[in-house]
Chains A and B, each alone.
Chain A
Amino acid sequence: MELVRPGVRVEPVEGLPELPRVDARAAGRAKAKPVEAVRVPVLIIGGGPAGLSAGIELGKRGVETLIIDDKHRLGGKLILQTHRFFGSIDAVFAGTRGIDIATRLENEVRAFPNVRVWLQSSALAVYSDRTVGVLVEGRRYVVVTPDVLLVTAGAREKNLAFPGNTLPGVYGAGAFQTLVNRDLVKPTGRLFIVGGGNVGLIAAYHALQAGIAVVGLVEVMPECGGYKVHRDKLARLGVPIYTSHAVLSANGADAVESVTIARVDEEYSLVKGTERSFDCDTLLIAVGLDPVNEFYDKAREFGLPAFAAGDAEEIAEASAAIFSGKIRGLEVARALGHDVGEISPEWYRTSDILKSRPGATIHEEMPSAEAGVFPVIHCSQEIPCDPCTGVCPNDLIEMDKTDIRLLPSFVGEKGGKGCTGCEKCVAICPGLAVTLVDYRKDPEFPTVAIPFEFLKDTLKAGDVVVVEDTEGNALGRVEVGAVKAIKANDRTMIVKVRAPREYAKRIAGIRVQPPETGEPLSRYVERTDEDAVICRCERVTAGDIRKLIREGVRDINEIKAMTRAGMGSCGAKTCTPLIHQLFREEGVPEAEIIDQPKRPLFLEVPLGIFAGFDPEEEGHDSE
């Protein structure tokens, strides 16, 4: 990971880049240095939620550990997660924002003198002599010999094949979130999202928070795969969600100018006549993740004891990564002969629960009471989440804690104490799915407290807003009474509105984005001039590869040899899943496909670095 700093020269390249010239005689005098070698009991690749949690457990047990991470700060993707986390408050900081969890984990791991951290350091390869080549700070090559390797390198995004898929303006969700949430860059005015999993849903939410119009979200399945609370939150904010729809093309000459989508039938075939185009300058692709598991696989192949945790092991939420990292940390310590006692079976169960996919959706029941003050929980899908159960001063929100996927319920009163209207449950819910209805002042026009995570000046008292039910159906227009922050709200605002008794309880949110934002263009844009690009590095199109598949080619090695797909700098990380997608579309069973081997290097590295020449030290470039 190369940081931009003063003096860095950035040049546009037309054609092939010129290799910098050097004074051969002077430079030839520099002596190659032997490669630095480091031995360490545990090497952790990746300082994200899983790696840090494992590092903490190893730290506590005094195990010498080295964590390497390619970014300039620890935390992995937690850094990009500005929303409150789901999961369990007991196990994984649920209710806290991801970025704050990163800081807490980092502070904890940094307190252990036996845990070393190398930032801006990338693993390049696991070799057959059971060593790991590491590029440190982009300038030093170190060969690390660990006794045990723990791979917590996270995931990489899947891509999608459609015409225009490499136009400037087509982003992966991770890149987009890095720009918006970490670097505070607003790269777009009008965004369209492809993919209704949690990544796409959350990215849309972050975009709205950053003041970006979200024109729509398309999901090929009949339902969004992400948490319903995320989906509902978006719908309420005014983002149209098109399920059973697919993206046909990104349109534009030099950059994205619009996107075309269409409905699909049960077989995922396009339904003619349902094409629609939307004006947007950015398309965000969030169609799933693949584990970064090549280091783990190589280590296993070469007999280096290895473990994996987090997304590198199995794609799930970051909360699950925190917990699986913790378990794997103990397993690594045990593998090295440390007595860690028995790892509780309960932990493995919690880990499985945190990894679970959203469960059944239950019909939302409204409380019958219409007096006093009480929360309404607009949470109707089983997901691993429990922060609302930990904040009520009178302990009135309950859940069967043997399984945090179960739905919470408000119990009315306990020990003679009822709801005080403190609004803590409203502020803590990561799904923004708790409101508080207060009939005490005016039973006909109760006050509803609604969570709101936008800048304070987005709404002010006196504004008239559209309020909606859980799924985003408009209920009416009401006036904002107050916008306030409660103590320890951690930036979640509470908006108070007075609403008619008839629908006050059903209010779950406030529309932010006007409906015209999501309106389609009057005519749809057809793109026939370009084919989908499968291998970006070598610009190989879907047509090139389909032709070979139709000729009977089943070996991806042969596709690579013939088309160069997979020969580029990324190391076939992007195109391999897309080629599999093409095989599927051509009706070839997965079992017939032969994959190409994965080979080092993970990143391209200058030859001089392997010879021990520091690119910064030598000033003998002749230019």
Chain B
Amino acid sequence: MTANRTFDVIVVGAGSVGAPAALSLAEAGLKVLVVDQYPSVGQGSNKRAIGGLRATHSDPAKIRIGLRSLEMFATWEERFGDRIEWRKGGYSFVAYRAEEERTLKELLVVQKKYGLNIDWLDAKAFLEVIPDLNPEGLIGGTFSPDDGHASPLLAVHAFYSRAKMLGAEFHFNERVTGIVTAGARVRGVRTDKGDYGAPVVVNAAGPWAAEVAELAGIDVPVRPDSHEGAVTEAVARFLEPMVVDLRPVDGSANYYFYQHDTGQVIFCITPSPSIWGMDIRETSSFLPLVASRMVGLIPRLKNLRVRRTWRGLYPMTPDGFPIVGWTRDLEGYMLAVGMCGQGFMLGPGLGELMTRLVLDAATEEDRETLSYLSPYREFKGQEKLK
């Protein structure tokens, strides 16, 4: 294997997780190769993400990674100058029924314990945050003002550009076809264009994670389901936070939307039952389903014109939490998969965590964080804020 085909780390996937990981690894002075099947960065699930960024999760691992990621998004423009359309609009979870009130208030305890800036607001206070909300039957909700949003497309491109500047190599239009091993150790990857050597291979292949893991003979419980999203025309600002409605209604679980930095509203709904598989073709059921719920919640949205719709994949795990860490049976093979639709908001923090793992510099806190995300956990619980 020639020298220019040998790297310290090979990352499979140049998306929401792979691109910031490459950046962190390159910043640490490691020689990185990223391989992606698509012609440019973020063309898998990243460009289909709606752009919500929050640390208000229900578990310490995602809260920590989310907080660090938020910090990186929030400071990116001032640190590096690229505009990524970051806006600190906050996140709000609405409660119109006792069930959601109870869930949200229970989660608040954990969230506060890990230092999140989040509070329960009663109906009156909540309406001050979202004045256009339908007040009928509103109990209140949680509001976390430090969360926000950014453009997944611009952010991933910014990570990619900086990673490249720091020496990371990106090979697009290239498909990983095998993992090269020697005994129980990773030696590199094989692609449709050649072999590359590295002692560390990171699987950041999003919805293709199980397929890529399979190449190394590793079984990973990640399978994608699909959600449709849409973006509207741009209008003058009328809404600050992301609005999440957890209520299940026939045909759908939760849905969420926010007004992006550009003035456009971006929204998404979780179908119920889930639509499993890789199909990302547009359906006729999406718009009527989501429109009736959104307009019911904020009637003012009825006059907002929908511009474009798309469908994306959520690489799901059995418990709704990501799978991150070294594999036991193949030394040097790391998983950063099963983001369950949160790869964009967790990516930068995860990238740093993975870099510490590669450098064998994980802290005590990192080890605790990773225990929640371990590939070898029992997958018994269930994420409440998917």
Contact = CB atoms under 8 A, between A and B. Distances in A.
Contacts of B43: 555, 557
B303 A611 contact: no
Contacts of B302: 22, 27, 606-608, 611, 613, 615
Interface residues of B, number: 50
Contacts of B279: 128
Interface stretch (A238-246, A441-449, A596-604): A596-604
A612 B281 contact: no
B215 interface: no
Interface stretch (A12-20, A96-104, A264-272): A12-20
Given A141-B288, A561-B47, A608 B301 contact: yes
Interface in B1-57: 38-43, 47
A411 interface: no
Interface string A16-38: 11111111110111101011000
A302 interface: yes
Contact of B306 (A20, A143, A553, A601): A601
A127 B284 contact: yes
A134 B238 CA distance: 29
Interface in A535-562: 553-555, 557-558, 560-562
Contact of A604 (B154, B283, B306): B306
Contacts of B47: 557, 561
B133 interface: yes
Interface stretch (B61-69, B103-111, B292-300): B292-300
B378 interface: no
B235 interface: yes
Interface in B258-282: 263, 279, 281-282
Given A16-B234, A17-B235, A594-B39, A24 B284 contact: no
Given A24-B299, A25-B136, A594-B39, A125 B306 contact: no
Contact of B283 (A127, A301, A553, A601): A127
B39 A19 contact: no
Contact of B136 (A28, A125, A615): A28
Interface stretch (B139-147, B307-315, B342-350): B307-315
A157 B100 CA distance: 52
Interface in B285-339: 285, 287-288, 290-292, 294-296, 298-310
A459 B205 CA distance: 76
A557 B47 CA distance: 9
A554 B295 CA distance: 40
Secondary structure at the A interface, as helix, strand, loop or mixed, is loop
B70 interface: no
Nearest to A18: B236
A590 to B, nearest CB: 15
A599 B282 contact: yes
A127 B263 CA distance: 27
Contact of A601 (B135, B153, B234, B307): B307
A90 interface: no
Nearest to B298: A24
Contacts of A15: 236
B157 A35 contact: no
Contacts of B136: 25, 28-29
A125 B284 CA distance: 9
A143 B285 CA distance: 10
Contacts of B133: 24
A133 interface: yes
A21 B306 contact: no
Given A557-B43, A561-B154, A611-B291, A133 B306 contact: no
A274 interface: no
A20 B300 CA distance: 7
B236 A17 contact: yes
Looking at B42, B263, B284, which has the most chain A CB atoms within 10 Å of its CB? B284
Interface of A: 15-25, 27-30, 32, 34-35, 125, 127-129, 131, 133, 141, 143, 301-302, 553-555, 557-558, 560-562, 569, 571, 594, 599-601, 604-613, 615
**Shortest 6 CB-CB contacts between residues of A and residues of B:** A608-B302, A32-B292, A27-B299, A128-B281, A610-B291, A28-B134
15 contacts: A16-B263, A17-B235, A19-B235, A20-B303, A24-B132, A27-B299, A32-B292, A561-B153, A594-B39, A600-B309, A601-B309, A604-B233, A604-B307, A607-B232, A608-B291
